[in-house]
Amino acid sequence: MAEEKLFVRKATGLVREIGAITAIIIVMANTIGLGWQKRVFQYTGRAPLPENQYLAGIPPMTMAFILGGIAILLSVLAVSVLSSAMPRSGGGYVVISRIIGPVWGFLGAWLEFLSIAWSFGIIAVAVFEGIFQIMGPVAFGPFPLGANAFGSNINDITLFSGGLVLVLVFTVIGIFGVKLTGLLLQAMFWVPSILTFYVFGLLSQANSTTVTQGMTNVLGHAPLDYVNGALTQGLDAAGSSAGGYWGAVSTALVGAYFAYIGYAASTFVAGEIKQANKSLPKTLVLASVLIIALYVSISVVAADSIKGLATVTTTSGNTYSLLSAWSYLSYGGGDLVKAGLPNVKLWTTTVAGLTGSGINLGSANFLLVVFGVFWIANDIPPFILTASRILFAMSFDRVLPAPLANINDRFHSPINAVIITGIVGILGCFSESGIVDAGTGSWNLGGNVLLGQILSSSGGVAITDFYDSLFFTLFTLSLVILPLRASRRQIFDTAPYKPGGKWGMVLLGVLGFVANLTVDYIFVFAKYGDFELSQATPDTYAIVFTVIVAAIGVVVFYAHRMRRGINYSTIFAQIPPE
């Protein structure tokens, strides 16, 4: 059978224009976004372990970033070996479909595309949430009781509209190809990267005097007001039921992995990276190490900046400070307004801004707004690239309609795939804005309607991370199988990196596979996971939706095969051309 009968055409039409620096930036920008700016406080609030129980003074969230980082590195090493052997656009889809099997490759990529494209809209809305959450606490004050950054002017329609505009704008930019998108990404990356040093500098100046002065200037309250308010609302009881240090760490691991999602973004555009078979493993590992170092260090510095302020020891012998109290009131079982405090949640930028105010640098706090918002917004260009290339790769294999593999001759961009990515991204705008939330959303679809539940802020936002972890479970399993499958001997023989030979690759694959299985378990069973099957009331809507989406994917795969009469066994015996 001639080559043109195997694939849509003899060459993809994509051009290898991405250099090593941009490849690293794609990974870092896709990963470092919204969550890391508040994660240490968010999970300190959800599992407010007494601070005297910290292991060697290490907050549970910091330990979760360390353990999660180890799991991520194992996964990165495995996928980098595979991606260098098959450096094609679509990344894990190509690998899984060629090694495990076509239907598994399609199903994994089907869910991963949904995860990334949905997250595109989620982050577009989150940009405006970041503006509201950052600009108020660091640029204005003092706050009246119950006020948020812009008081009552924040609503779900505003958030949805803003997110929708960003989705449309970045979709258009994505149509113009990887070169323009890469240039935009460079600008959106380096600005907040430089400002990160300024944030660390402010946090290093945080102490009892500077933070207290800043809180008085901006919020009109002292640290002890927060500690007393949290204790009145059950902080000690929540701390006693946190499950001890490792229980709190297991809770925080959900947040840690969610913050690490995007660590292999460049594998999806491997077909557009210069000398990908050589540079991809190096850039992936370097980017991952930098991300882990940032997450661990920022969680330590941010927590230490307010840990020990207004410390109170309860009658049960548990010790809490501003760190635990404000986190609990922001993200746990407490309520800032009920405590008689401004409705300003705790972010890293909040602490930095208050410290700036305390040392008479409050006029420069607009830099924190730029820092925070750009770190959120620079997630978006990689979403466009990665999600559209998944669709492109599946279409190029003819398991999706061929028009999705069309390439614009001028911009070397899969324009139809980019447009579909933007359309699916609108679902994320619904989810993150809360506009269809039952009882509270402006466009309430009803509490008992599956669509309303999935599109709500408690539905779509949660399930995307499980789809990602499932995809990388299959991705790393491929490395276990590759050296052992005789029919794929050619891929093994031509792989540029074979660490430890046949059995070394198997071992690396097993380690990455087990790490991802652990993440899957956490998302399915742990408290605050996607489904929480270990809880009394698991998220049945998320389970039903996942089953439906997976079933639709399988039906689409087989229906398209039957309709086109394509010999998939022949296609999937070949690696796609460049």
Tens digits of per-residue pLDDT, 27-52? 999 999 877 888 999 999 999 999 99
Residue 153: partners with Cβ closer than 8 Å, 6 or more residues away: none
Residue 146, pLDDT > 60, answer: no
| Domains of the chain and any CATH numbers | 3-457 (1.20.1740)
32-36, 396-400, 418-422, 472-476: least confidently modelled range? 32-36
Share above pLDDT 70 across residues of the chain, in percent, rounded to a whole number: 91
- What CA–CA distance (Å, rounded) separates 430 from 426? 7
- Quote the pLDDT of residue 148: 43
How many C-beta neighbours within 10 Å does residue 382 have?
26
Residue 453: partners with Cβ closer than 8 Å, 6 or more residues away: 438, 447, 459, 541, 545
Residues 341, 342, 344, 350, CA torsion sign = negative
Residue 18's SS3 state is: strand
- Quote the pLDDT of residue 144: 41
Max CA pair span of the chain:
80
Which helix (H) or strand (E) element contains residue 320? strand 319-320
More confident residue, 522 or 481: 481
Q: Helical H runs in 221-315?
A: 223-232, 235-240, 244-260, 276-306
Residue 416: partners with Cβ closer than 8 Å, 6 or more residues away: 403, 404, 406
Can you tell me which residue has the tokens 């770190």?
375
Question: What's the mean pLDDT in 387-404?
Answer: 92
Are 89 and 269 spatial neighbours (Cβ–Cβ below 8 Å)?
Answer: yes
Backbone angles phi, psi at 575, to 5 degrees: -85, 135
- What CA–CA distance (Å, rounded) separates 404 from 420? 9
Residue 319's SS3 state is: strand
Residues 346, 352, 354, 355, CA torsion sign = positive
Q: What is the DSSP letter of 14?
A: -
pLDDT in tens, 180-194: 898 999 999 999 999
- Quote the pLDDT of residue 269: 94
More confident residue, 574 or 388: 388
Q: How confident is the model at residue 445 (pLDDT cuts 50, 70, 90)?
A: low
pLDDT in tens, 487-539: 888 888 888 888 889 999 999 999 999 999 998 888 888 877 777 777 767 76
Q: How confident is the model at residue 73 (pLDDT cuts 50, 70, 90)?
A: very high
DSSP string, 375-442: HHHTTHHHHHHHHHHHHHHHHHTTSS-GGGG---TTT---HHHHHHHHHHHHHHHHHHHTTT-TTT-T
How many C-beta neighbours within 10 Å does residue 387 have?
28
pLDDT in tens, 150-166: 344 467 888 899 999 99
- What CA–CA distance (Å, rounded) separates 476 from 344? 41
pLDDT in tens, 53-72: 999 999 999 999 999 999 99
Residue 149, pLDDT > 60, answer: no
Cis amide leading into 142 (omega within 30): yes
- Quote the pLDDT of residue 452: 61
Residue 10, pLDDT > 90, answer: no
- What CA–CA distance (Å, rounded) separates 438 from 33? 28
Residue 269's SS3 state is: strand
- Quote the pLDDT of residue 461: 56
More confident residue, 179 or 192: 192
Residue 89's SS3 state is: strand
Residue 325, pLDDT > 70, answer: yes
Q: How confident is the model at residue 283 (pLDDT cuts 50, 70, 90)?
A: very high
Share above pLDDT 90 across residues of the chain, in percent, rounded to a whole number: 56
Can you tell me which residue has the tokens 């991963």?
112
pTM for the whole structure = 0.90
Question: What's the mean pLDDT in 211-219?
Answer: 90
- What CA–CA distance (Å, rounded) separates 355 from 219? 12
Residue 327, pLDDT > 90, answer: yes
Residue 208, pLDDT > 70, answer: yes
Backbone angles phi, psi at 320, to 5 degrees: -135, 155
Question: What's the mean pLDDT in 4-16?
Answer: 79
Which helix (H) or strand (E) element contains residue 39? helix 39-46
Can you tell me which residue has the tokens 């890293």?
348
pLDDT in tens, 331-384: 999 999 899 998 888 989 889 989 998 999 888 888 988 898 899 999 999 999
- Quote the pLDDT of residue 201: 95
Question: What's the mean pLDDT in 305-317?
Answer: 93
Tokens of residue 30, six digits: 């896709």
Question: What is the bridge-based pairing of β-strands 312-313 and 319-320?
Answer: antiparallel
Are 307 and 300 spatial neighbours (Cβ–Cβ below 8 Å)?
Answer: no
Residue 141, pLDDT > 70, answer: no
Q: How confident is the model at residue 561 (pLDDT cuts 50, 70, 90)?
A: confident
- What CA–CA distance (Å, rounded) separates 23 from 28? 9
